[in-house]
């Protein structure tokens, strides 16, 4: 099965209605066993990483990228974890053109916004020629980045190269003017650079028990991660 068909099948398995937008964070948390996702700032040229063992799956997402891009990266890493053999650790960058990366990108794009959903959106909103306002409305609905949205419209030949270039700029200002939340186009705010879902605490304790990390490192991870509440509750026992 190709990566697009895999994404369509997974949407069905996860109970996402055909044209509905997908809240990717809560979906992965509810549907993938033993998954831990960590959001934290990384170098600009890395979008995310993933790793799996017999017991655990871990995904890292770069919070220095926009929220739209982070949603895409999460869906992209799911492809590696669910459908590929992951030896050790995969690092996904913004400029990697391997077949595996292309498959993961196609998968992510379809998981968040299948072609059928785009056809539905176009017809529901009676769109003949896509305006920037239509584009913003659609990307906000599916919570995908402006870049992803433009690429999809270009691939469907619904916009041409000139429009693609013209629609690229001033997106935050335009979305703001139309009354949309502009967080989709921005990197995580300072107080949300670190967050996690899943098994971080158990994995940290396991690494500490197996002497893979020091007590200091364990404290640092729990402090940053991301889970201040846990650290402070048990702060006396940590050193
Ligand atoms: Zn990748």
Note whether 19 and 41 are within 8 A (CB). no
What pLDDT is recorded for position 228? 45
Ligand 1 centre and the CA of 202: distance in Å?
26
Instruction: Report pLDDT digits (tens) over 175-191.
Output: 999 999 999 999 999 88
H-type alpha helices, 89-170: 99-112, 115-124, 132-142, 146-155, 161-166
For residue 211, the model assigns a pLDDT of 86
Tell me, in angstroms, the distance from the centre of ligand 1 to residue 86's CA: 11
Q: Which of 170, 211, 206 is nearest to 36 (CA)?
A: 206
Distance 218 CA to ligand 1 centre (A): 28
Contact, 238 vs 231, CB < 8 A? yes
Write the pLDDT tens digit of every residue in 41-58: 999 999 999 998 888 899
Q: How far is the CA of 72 from the centre of ligand 1 (A)?
A: 11
101 Cα–ligand 1 center, Å: 5
Q: Write out residues in the chain with pLDDT < 50, as ranges.
A: 228-239
| d(CA 104, ligand 1 centre) in Å | 6
Per-residue burial over 122-149, b if 16 or more Cβ lie within 10 Å, else e, is beeeebeebebebbbbbbbebbbbbbbb
Read off the tokens for 209.
Answer: 């028990």
Separation of CA 69 and ligand 1 centre (Å): 13
Task: Provide CB contacts within 8 A for 55, sequence distance 6+.
Answer: 34
Q: How far apart are the first and last CA of the chain?
A: 51
Q: Ligand 1 mean position to 87 CA, how many Å?
A: 13
Give residue 2 CA to ligand 1 midpoint distance, Å.
16
In the reported structure, the alpha carbon of residue 88 is separated from the centroid of ligand 1 by a whole-number distance in angstroms of 13
Q: In angstroms, what is the span from residue 147 Cα to ligand 1's centroid? A: 17
Domain range annotation of the chain: 3-192, 199-237
Q: What is the pLDDT of residue 213?
A: 86
Distance of CA 171 from the midpoint of ligand 1 (Å):
26
Distance CA 148, CA 127 (A): 19
């Amino acid at each position: 099965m190709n990566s697009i068909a895999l994404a369509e099948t997974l949407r069905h398995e996860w109970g996402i209605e055909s044209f509905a937008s997908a809240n990717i964070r809560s979906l992965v948390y509810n549907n993938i066993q033993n998954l831990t996702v960590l959001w934290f700032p990384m170098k600009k040229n890395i979008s995310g990483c993933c790793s799996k063992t017999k017991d655990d799956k871990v995904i890292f997402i770069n919070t220095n990228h926009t929220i739209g891009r982070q949603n895409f990266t999460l869906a992209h890493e799911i492809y590696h974890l669910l459908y590929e053999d992951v030896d050790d650790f995969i690092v996904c960058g913004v400029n990697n053109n391997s077949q595996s990366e292309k498959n993961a990108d196609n998968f992510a794009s379809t998981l968040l916004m299948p072609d059928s959903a785009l056809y539905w959106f176009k017809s529901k909103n009676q769109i003949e020629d896509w305006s920037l306002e239509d584009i913003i409305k659609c990307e906000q609905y599916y919570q995908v980045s402006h870049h992803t949205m433009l690429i999809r419209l270009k691939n469907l030949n619904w916009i041409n190269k000139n429009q693609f270039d013209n629609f690229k700029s001033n997106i935050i200002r335009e979305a703001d003017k139309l009354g949309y939340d502009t967080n989709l186009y921005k990197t995580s705010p300072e107080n949300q650079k670190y967050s996690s879902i899943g098994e971080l605490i158990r994995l940290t304790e396991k690494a500490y028990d197996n002497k893979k990390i020091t007590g200091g490192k364990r404290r640092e991870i729990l402090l940053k991660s991301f889970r201040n509440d846990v650290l402070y509750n048990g702060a006396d026992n940590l050193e």
